[in-house]
Amino acid sequence: MARNQYRTHPDSGEELVGVQFPHWPECKQLACDALRVLPGARFLGMDLTASVSGPMVVEYNVEPSYQGAAHVDKPHGAIFAGV
């Protein structure tokens, strides 16, 4: 598998193959809508979550870094161990 592609969740060990993220079309639309209302932003790093009422924005970064946490390639448990 390629970098940052997992068959199981790196923290919980739960199987990911075949799992579909709830509300995926709505998540894509929410991301596009958010980008449209932020003047001057051409690219966003966006964290979304699925709630019982649909997708929600957790946070967004107008200048995401390629060196951000998503590229550390370690489980969160390992990153925050002892914190």
Minimum mean pLDDT among 26-30, 61-65, 66-70: which range?
A: 66-70
Look at residue 57 and tell me whether its pLDDT is greater than 60: yes
| pLDDT given at position 20 | 86
Which long-range CB contacts under 8 A does 57-64 form with residues at least 24 apart?
A: 57/30, 60/34, 62/38
Q: What's the pLDDT tens digit per position in 3-54?
A: 667 889 888 899 999 988 888 899 889 888 888 888 787 777 888 888 888 8
Q: Where are the beta strands (DSSP E) in the chain?
A: 45-51, 54-61
pLDDT at 71 over 60: no
Residue 67 reports pLDDT greater than 70: no
